[in-house]
Amino acid sequence: MTQAIIRERITVKGVVQGVGFRPHIYKLAAAYSLSGWVKNDAAGVTIEAEGAPERVAGFIRDISLKKPAAARVDSVAHSAVRPAGDASFLISKSGGRAQAAAIIPADLALCPDCRRELYDPGDRRYLYPFTNCTNCGPRFTIVKRVPYDRPFTTMAPFRMCPACRAEYGNPLDRRFHAQPNACPVCGPALSFEGNGRPVKGSPLALAAARLAAGRIGAIQSLGGFHLACAAQDLKAVARLRAIKDRPHKPFALMFADLAAAGRYCVVTPEEAAALESAAAPVVMVKKRPGTALEAAAPGLASAGVMLPYTPLHAALFAELSRAGFSGPLIMTSGNFRDEPIARSLAEVRARLGGLAGFIVHHDRAIHNRADDSVGFVSGGVFRFARRARGYVPAAVKLAADLPGGVLACGADLKNSFCLTRGKEAFLSQHIGDLSEAANQEFYLETVANLKKLLSAAPRTIAFDLHPDYVSSAAGRRLKGRKVPVQHHAAHVLSVAAEHGLDGPFIGLAFDGTGYGTDGRIWGSEFLVFEKKTWRRAARLKYFPLPGGDAGAHELWRPALALIKAAGLRPDGLFGAVPAARLAVIERMLEAGVNCPGTSSMGRLFDAFSFIAGVRCEATYEAQGPMELESLYKGGTGSYGFYAGTGGGEIIIDPAPAVRAAVKDRLSGRSAGFISARFHNGAAAMAVDIARRLARETGIKTFCLSGGVFQNRVLLELVTTGLERSGFSVFSNIQVPANDGGVALGQAWYAIKGYRQA
């Protein structure tokens, strides 16, 4: 009796292109003795598998259960088709008319197998800075469109040599259909420039010698150029700070390996896992006392650390070792303040050429620029401060969708935007400050690129309520249904979106600045979401902010306003402020001129960093609060806040905390003492108000978001306090809590049809 034969057409969606998925399917089909074919198309991966019913069933089951490490299978759909009698199983040419649903993977850090080859003097790719396979290498930064095939990437100009072609065509080789596959014979090559002229010799050996000698260089990486120098060379770091106009802002550090990082920093297992992951982000880790990292991250308890994530970086550290250099390198974005990261030699020459002592560049073009991702571990999970290289364009899975899709324009600071396609939300890489013309161009370019990559034509446009945001103006100019979204409602909904929350919940949005529905500057909002409406239920008492945004830089301004609002005289604390300037601001406060009211938690933290004696003026955003957090050592004492009511809202008055902190400062208490009492008090206030709202509403689910919740001390104190009260607590994990995650909340607002109560 002839055994029954069936054939199934299978569509697999998710991150299934550029991760070795077709070779994996080929091997899986061979294991089940099936015939048929597999190919990439706009939908993802399409398979036809033919064989005995039980073998086809097992094959379909294992597609989800057994997959490449970098793959993500979101769905497997199959339907019966007529058997074709194929003699074997093949990898077919990409293409077809499937509806666009493919997801290009993010760039993948150098894998262990390629690293071993890179360091093997007998291997043909020894120290070759473009070594990769199906498990690692460039993806998003080189792709122009789907399907993810070499002709549609910036590797198209490089024709594989016979050896690479043999690897590419061998189903048993890990470079089988690895689109960026290359070697020194046929692939991209490095070049070195010194003082504006090409220099002969090994580019990485030349770079290593100059770095070890204290020079600053521009080095081309995956998503753009880094500016690099020896982290322990104080003169080099000082020059780099002058070049970047970053007198204090921390620089990212690259160590040769995890063991080297551990000699300078205390790295937890969770932090080590993030550092060694395929995404290879910059991770904020605690500095060890006495190590020479203060110049890289002055005044902070933590430093941003990463490991060599490209073969170029790994080969550079090998050359540095030969040169007798064993310390870390500073690896910071190749740009000036608030500009996009430079991605081409022409941009570096035009913008940085006169500042970098040398340039290491290559001829594999960067199509999609992407800065390094940055984050920290809290609650046992990695959380973003900046989401870019290594994670974009991975989608956030949504619990609902909106026909036609949404373009959410994001905020103006730390901008990223969001495009939805079905139940997937794709956030762009970090764009930056849209007040800068170059970033505005980067924004529009990236919107166009991501639309093309996703074949997206969104019918709904969501944007911030702020009337003067560049991102909102861009959204208003686009065709489609317009949905303005209040800034802090979007912060809270970014948490709801990534955790799939649909029922009633209360959001704590602790932030720096956001345009409120009453025209004031919000920033410490307790928002109640239920039945697709939201309302503000509690907030900090408005206090005047003399000079508006200037208060984020001159921290004594919000401190002066709060001290006077608390009924105190500004005596004994303002000696570092010129008397004439202090007098002008006092008159502004008395007359109420250019003193917008704000409920900003960020400005409250700024003010307390000044009161504690930490900092008078900030040279980068949140510098004072970050340094104040670094001084936190725990303790049981706390400053109190007063909660009253007004206009149907709970009004939180920080005056008692201000008076107590001023008293402690004037009596000689340390900044660390004041830091502990302030953090403890702010967290206790948040938990107390949350409990009160839970009693009033019956809601026991809370979402924490906003830039202030990037303060790990505050996040952990509030989370622990709420959970001990029996509440369910959610916070941002897949997107930043700062404005880099706002676009996801804007998209969710539009999808769910929220409105203000």
3-state secondary structure string, 704-715? EECHHHHCHHHH
Of residues 302 and 18, the one with the higher pLDDT is: 302
Residue 149 CA, distance from chain mean position: 27
Q: Predicted confidence band at 93 (pLDDT cuts at 50, 70, 90)?
A: confident
Nearest to 286 by CA among 270, 264, 269: 264
Provide, rounded to the nearest whole percent, the portion of the chain with pLDDT above 90: 85
383-501+739-746 CATH pick, 3.40.640.10, 3.40.50.620, 3.40.1190.20, 3.30.420.360: 3.30.420.360
C-alpha–C-alpha distance, residues 265 and 326, integer Å: 15
pLDDT of residue 99: 55
Q: Predicted confidence band at 272 (pLDDT cuts at 50, 70, 90)?
A: very high
Mean pLDDT for 299-312 is 97
C-alpha–C-alpha distance, residues 200 and 186, integer Å: 20
Mean pLDDT for 706-735 is 98
Check pLDDT > 70 for residue 101: no
3-class secondary structure for 260-284? HHHHHEECCHHHHHHHCCCCCCEEE
Mean pLDDT for 519-526 is 96
pLDDT, tens digit, 9 for 90 and up, residues 680-700 = 999 999 999 999 999 999 999
Contact 281, 272 (CB under 8 A): no
Mean pLDDT for 507-511 is 98
- The three-state secondary structure class of 20 is coil
pLDDT of residue 95: 61
Instruction: Write down the architecture of domain 6-91 according to CATH.
Output: 2-Layer Sandwich (3.30)
Could you state, in order of their start, the residue ranges of all structural domains in the chain? 6-91, 190-362, 383-501+739-746, 522-529+537-731
Check pLDDT > 90 for residue 290: no
Mean pLDDT for 650-670 is 97
Instruction: Write down the architecture of domain 522-529+537-731 according to CATH.
Output: 2-Layer Sandwich (3.30)
Q: How far is CA 716 from CA 162, 240, 285, in A?
A: 56, 35, 16
Check pLDDT > 70 for residue 100: no
* Domain covering 190-362 assigned CATH 3.40.50.2000 in the classification: no
pLDDT, tens digit, 9 for 90 and up, residues 424-455 = 999 999 999 999 899 999 999 999 999 998 88
What mean pLDDT is reported for the chain? 94
Mean pLDDT for 515-537 is 96
Q: Predicted confidence band at 72 (pLDDT cuts at 50, 70, 90)?
A: confident
Check pLDDT > 60 for residue 23: yes
- 298 φ/ψ angles, rounded to the nearest 5 degrees: -65, 135
Check pLDDT > 60 for residue 97: no
Whose tokens are 């997959």? That residue is 67
**CATH topology of 6-91 equal to that of 522-529+537-731?**
no
Mean pLDDT for 14-43 is 88
Mean pLDDT for 489-512 is 97
pLDDT of residue 338: 75
Q: Predicted confidence band at 171 (pLDDT cuts at 50, 70, 90)?
A: confident
For 210-266, the DSSP string reads: HHHTT--EEEE-SSSEEEEEETT-HHHHHHHHHHHT-SSSPPPEE-SSHHHHHHHEE
C-alpha–C-alpha distance, residues 70 and 67, integer Å: 8
Check pLDDT > 80 for residue 586: yes
Check pLDDT > 60 for residue 1: no
Containing 444, the helix (H) or strand (E) segment is helix 437-454
C-alpha–C-alpha distance, residues 252 and 105, integer Å: 24
